[in-house]
Structure 1
Amino acid sequence: MNFKQLSKQVSTLCLLSATLICTLTSPAYAATPLHGISMHGDLKYPSGFEHFDYVNPQAPKGGTVTQAAIGTFDSFNPFIIKGAAADGIGLIYDSLLTRAQDEAFSLYGLLAESLEVAEDRSWIIFNLNPKARFSDGQPVTAEDVAYSFKLLREQGSPFYQAYYREIEKIEALSSTQVKFSFSSTENRELALIVGEVSILPKHYWEKHDFTKPGLEVPIGSGPYLIDSFDAGRTISYRRNPDYWGAELAVSKGRYNFNSISYDYYKDGTVALEAFKGGEYDFREENSSKRWATGYTGAVFDEGKIITQNLAHENPTGMQAFILNTRKPYFSDSRVRAALAYAFDFEWTNKNIFFDAYTRTHSFFSNSEMAATALPSEAELSILEPVKDQVPSEVFTQVYRAPTTNGDGKTRSQLRTALRLLKSAGWELKNGLLLNKDGQQMVFEILLVSPAFERVVAPFSRNLERMGIKPSMRVIDASQYINRIRSFDFDIIVSGFGQSSSPGNEQREYWHSSTADQPGSRNTIGIKNPAIDYLIDQIIQAPDREQLVLRTRALDRVLQWNHYVIPQFHTSSYRVAYWNKLDFPAIRPTHSLGFDTWWVKPEQPGQ
């Protein structure tokens, strides 16, 4: 072998060695950059799309809009369980991705101009937009992203720790590239939901105490800035003229108001009168009585205020009387089932709500995920592993909340309730419902809205006819928040909102791991291994069909455990607004889309 041949062989070996070393040491996560990501199925909007269909890209910019808020605020930190955060505070923050509100669950680039994701979704890389800036001009970096998740999971609300617990590692690969690695390849939603978190500036929060609520104005990267505020009374945001993302496709036609304000009121009745007096511009009504009787007068007759019912396709979830199962009375499902017979929805809807509502029977009402028929063979196979841990009715009956004919006569319903209570060890003696120790059933129904007293009053009267001694207490918003966070209540009126693509949030609602976490949304206090199993099945659903089937299975088990007394829902937004406002002809199917509205330009002579 001559020197030339030897040199060539050595060179070849070196090249092979270098290639091998490169292969072994290079990250094994090369993937095609994508402009968006969908939970199941294809994206509606292609790469390079100009704007969402439900916006008006030529919407005029300018003007001010004022809305009402109820209660008070003492904090600009919505990420912790302490304090009452100001309404609208999310306007100052951006996330890596943003939702399309006309798709079930699809996200498109915001702070991240593109993403790369493993086929099995075991990791995702976000490539930050080099133009992304915080409101103080500092660039948004991969280090800010990693810091945000560390801060939220270690010092934020317990929600973040539970929701993102399967994030195994976060790496800043460069100043504009960050990688999330996950401990499970079965949680397909996780790659999406990490993209929805507000990204916080490290250079600001490392100098401040994140755990304390306060009114020092924070730094964000969103389309608005805090302009002014009067603690607990009003807050105003102004559109950031230097907002880095104003020209992005996902921003076109949105954030049209120059100024957005929230004025605080003690209750909805006072707020409505202020609205009719021109004190603010837009109102979404949640009281059927006010909607039926309160929106009258010259300002409506003359068209100065417009009222509309705007239909939506959102799951309406479950609004209900929430029973705290941590309390001895409500740990027995027979007691919980019995109390439901005291709520006469049909009479209430006719006499109080002007027939404005539909009775809720499902935790996923107004969606294909609601269990409204007997389980199919496919559902039965999902339920089989927990067959011995769930009520038998799950397999043999379709759950329907107790109903009446609406005439106010509930004798037969209350007799059924008393039979259930007797089986649970309670006896009606001399007009009192007593346990084996001779103690009467006594509990408190805690409210934050005086308007709901009229709903609770007839419910309480029926409870009293059963020998129970209920009390009703209305407290202010701050007290209410603190008591809910510490699970210091017997019964409350609350709800569990649902999206079109249920996933990790189900852990926060019903999983055993969140039952004892102060501030968690497992207000019921559920600790049920069968439910834990079904939540995992939902999170691991490989496709839309399985997601629907597994969610129906969970719905059945929640229904037949009688954790709540279902109330009612409506599938439209009831909105009223002064005629200076307008909105696009095409509306998003999965949100009100108020961020696409605008103030009409003044016409000559106005």
Structure 2
Amino acid sequence: MGNITKMAFHFGRLIAAWRMGAAMIAMAGIAFAEPQHGIAMYGDPALPPDFVSLPYANPDAPKGGRIVTSEVGGFDSLNPFILKGSVSWQLRYFVGESLMARSLDEPFTLYGLLAESVQTSPDRDWVEFTLRPEARFSDGSPVTVADVIWSFETLGTIGHPRYLGFWTRVASIAQTGDRSVRLTFNVADRELALLAGLRPILKKAQWEGVDFAQSTLDVVPITSAPYVIDDFEAGRFISLRRNPDYWGVNVPFQRGLHNFDEVRIEFFGDETAAFEAFKTLEVTTNREFNVARWDGQYDFPAVQSGDVTLSVLGHERPSGMTGFVMNTRRAQFADWRVRDALIHAFNFEFINDAMTGGAQPRITSYWSNSPLGMHHGPATGRVAEFLAPFAADLIPGTLEGYNLPIGDGTERNRAGTAAALDLMAQAGWTVQDGVLRNAAGTPFTFEILLQQGGSENQSIVDMYVQSLGRIGISPRVSLADGAQYKERVDAYDFDMTYYRVGLSLSPGNEQFNYFGAAAADQPGGRNVMGLKSPAVDAMINRLLTSQSQDDFVAAVQALDRILTAGRYVIPIYQWNISRIAHARELRYPENLPIFGDWPGWQPDVWWYED
């Protein structure tokens, strides 16, 4: 059975698991009254206490070899847990081990890692973890309750903004035994017990006398994880070596994982340089997001000789949202009709044909490609009930139904251009002497901010700029290096920029970071569009407190409607499969998890075999 077929089989299993979770929710209080080996958002973990390894891992995978990945840009920090600095996106998955770890084969289930057990109340207003006695940092010192408490308090107060929201929901944290710690929550939120299990645990003693929030390259984090930072050169590479004395090699969750002796991250100035490095196998694995490039540029000598393998892998993740986000903090984007007009002007069908040969479908909503995605047409049932109290303030299309415009595929896109001009006129902007202006004669213009090296995004924007010219708009396109780009986006100093948010089958508190009103003015946050909506906050609260799977799904579908009809992002194409080209010596298990190629899969379950 091929990988794609297997994923379809998994999808049926996923739905069955969700239904079982809904049926078992009433039993959850009994199931979690005593310490357990794992915890699930709904029902019980799929794996029993005596499981040997994750179902998608190879417990007999050989150890050795190395994998080399690439990133475009640079870095000036090794601390991925603070706002300051530019950090490799991969680094926090290597240097921050947590109390529990997430299975990629279940919507939201955690199994013990640093913690040997988890215990929580029936309504999950508190959670208690018991540390494994053998847990050690890479310097050989034990992981203690003091380290756990310090990590929660530090990350929750001066850490990266993604950690701050959780801490505001913690009423207390206290040691309850030699190896146990309890967190008590101040709000009703079933997910908090799981989020606590995913917080990275750092070594308290390493940071005594050091300004944690200001550290960059001056401190190499001491980690309890399987890899340690062995060598680095600012902006060029980071080398992580597998710790031969790693304490957790026999923990069931870790069997068959972390098999490479070295994981190396190479940094390049642009995508072209990174691809050329892969063609010579200076880099040994490469994710390709453009199907036209996959079909047309992966016939180089290393592929022809068999030294490079081309793998196509399925998954069951939601599409998430990828495209170009409009900053509603800017006056010109506060009007939904303007945002709608700019979406109509974006000639997706023509752009998709030019970039991918028309092979990749467009993202239609934030949770499209999943059971959590909104249904098109008018809202019905529980979705309509949840949205009804906010009907007066919802953007048109939220309740009635909203679909992205579809062009005719021609370069001129006459219908889309006409619709854009009409919407702009409704918002008070008309073409005067070839330029779109308001009644005062002020031209409508904005800046599109892009990061240097993103050649695909630049090509898309070049075509978009031509389309905008047809409605009298001449935006300026600015390119910034990695550090400048991050600094500007963190400060929300942009009009429009590239946007990508990956969403899961188990959305929870992170949705406040992505879309919540409280995050809109928080520097370095993920709510880059500046969204402030009581309806959005209410739907997030509802999905967090739902007592049934049906209500949970309805709350997510309602949230999806609000976000999609809000026209905050100009969506581009989605990737319902993953395309990975890699050196033939790099292997992965045949059994794919439902999340597919996702953090926790490569390099985690891969291995080197000549």
TM-score, structure 2 as length reference: 0.91
Once the two structures are overlaid, the 10-residue window that deviates more, 358-367 or 538-547, is 538-547
Match in the other structure for 1:316:
319
1:567 CA drift (Å): 1.4
Q: Which one of the candidate residues 189, 192, 206 is aligned to 1:204? A: 206
Name stretches of at least 5 consecutive residues in structure 1 with no aligned partner: 1-29
Q: Which one of the candidate residues 592, 595, 598 is aligned to 2:607? A: 598
Matched, 1:382 2:386: yes
1:453 CA drift (Å): 1.3
Distance 1:205 1:390 in 2: 47
Q: Give the secondary structure class of the aligned counterpart of 1:283.
A: strand
Matched, 1:77 2:86: no
Distance 1:344 1:307 in 2: 31
Match in the other structure for 2:26:
none
**Structure 1 segment 397-546 matched on structure 2, within 5 A:** 397=401, 399-448=402-451, 449-546=454-551
Identity between Structure 1 and Structure 2 (%): 39
1:92 CA drift (Å): 2.7
Distance 1:289 1:480 in 2: 28
Distance 1:293 1:475 in 2: 29
Assess if the C-alpha contact under 8 Å between 2:174 and 2:182 holds in 1.
yes
Write out per-residue CA displacement over residues 34-65 of structure 1, whole angstroms, 9 at most, x where no aligned residue.
Answer: 00000113311011111111111110011112
Q: Which residue identity does 1:324 align to in structure 2?
A: N
Assess if the C-alpha contact under 8 Å between 1:188 and 1:542 holds in 2.
no
Assess if the C-alpha contact under 8 Å between 2:287 and 2:578 holds in 1.
yes
**Structure 1 segment 314-393 matched on structure 2, within 5 A:** 314-373=317-376, 374-393=378-397
**Structure 1 segment 21-36 matched on structure 2, within 5 A:** 31-36=33-38
Distance 1:476 1:356 in 2: 31
Match in the other structure for 1:58:
60
Assess if the C-alpha contact under 8 Å between 1:317 and 1:495 holds in 2.
yes
Question: Aligned-pair RMSD on alpha carbons?
Answer: 1.4
Assess if the C-alpha contact under 8 Å between 1:325 and 1:524 holds in 2.
yes
Q: State the structure with more CA Rg.
A: 1
Matched, 1:120 2:123: yes
1:394 CA drift (Å): 2.0
Name stretches of at least 5 consecutive residues in structure 2 with no aligned partner: 1-31
Match in the other structure for 1:558:
563
Distance 2:238 2:98 in 1: 22
Write out per-residue CA displacement over residues 326-385 of structure 1, whole angstroms, 9 at most, x where no aligned residue.
Answer: 111001111111110111111111122122311111011211111123322221111122
1:392 CA drift (Å): 4.3
Distance 1:385 1:354 in 2: 44
Write out per-residue CA displacement over residues 172-199 of structure 1, whole angstroms, 9 at most, x where no aligned residue.
Answer: 11231000101122x1111101111110
Q: Which residue identity does 1:417 align to in structure 2?
A: A
Distance 1:507 1:586 in 2: 33
Matched, 1:67 2:69: yes
User: Number of paired residues?
Assistant: 570
**Structure 1 segment 293-312 matched on structure 2, within 5 A:** 293-312=296-315
Distance 2:418 2:358 in 1: 27
Distance 1:219 1:40 in 2: 35
**Structure 1 segment 249-268 matched on structure 2, within 5 A:** 249-268=252-271
Once the two structures are overlaid, the 10-residue window that deviates more, 161-170 or 120-129, is 161-170
Distance 1:412 1:386 in 2: 32
Q: Give the secondary structure class of the aligned counterpart of 2:258.
A: coil
Write out per-residue CA displacement over residues 181-226 of structure 1, whole angstroms, 9 at most, x where no aligned residue.
Answer: 01122x1111101111110111112232111132221211000011
Q: Which residue identity does 2:35 align to in structure 1?
A: P
Write out per-residue CA displacement over residues 469-505 of structure 1, whole angstroms, 9 at most, x where no aligned residue.
Answer: 1111221111110000000000001122101111101
1:464 CA drift (Å): 0.9
Assess if the C-alpha contact under 8 Å between 2:317 and 2:369 holds in 1.
yes
Q: Which residue identity does 1:563 align to in structure 2?
A: Y
Q: Which residue identity does 1:368 align to in structure 2?
A: P
Distance 1:212 1:299 in 2: 44
Q: Which one of the candidate residues 176, 187, 190 is aligned to 1:188? A: 190
Q: Give the secondary structure class of the aligned counterpart of 2:57.
A: coil
1:430 CA drift (Å): 1.3
Q: Which residue identity does 2:134 align to in structure 1?
A: K
Assess if the C-alpha contact under 8 Å between 2:407 and 2:415 holds in 1.
no
**Structure 1 segment 7-156 matched on structure 2, within 5 A:** 31-89=33-91, 90-156=93-159
Once the two structures are overlaid, the 10-residue window that deviates more, 198-207 or 112-121, is 198-207
Q: Give the secondary structure class of the aligned counterpart of 1:396.
A: coil
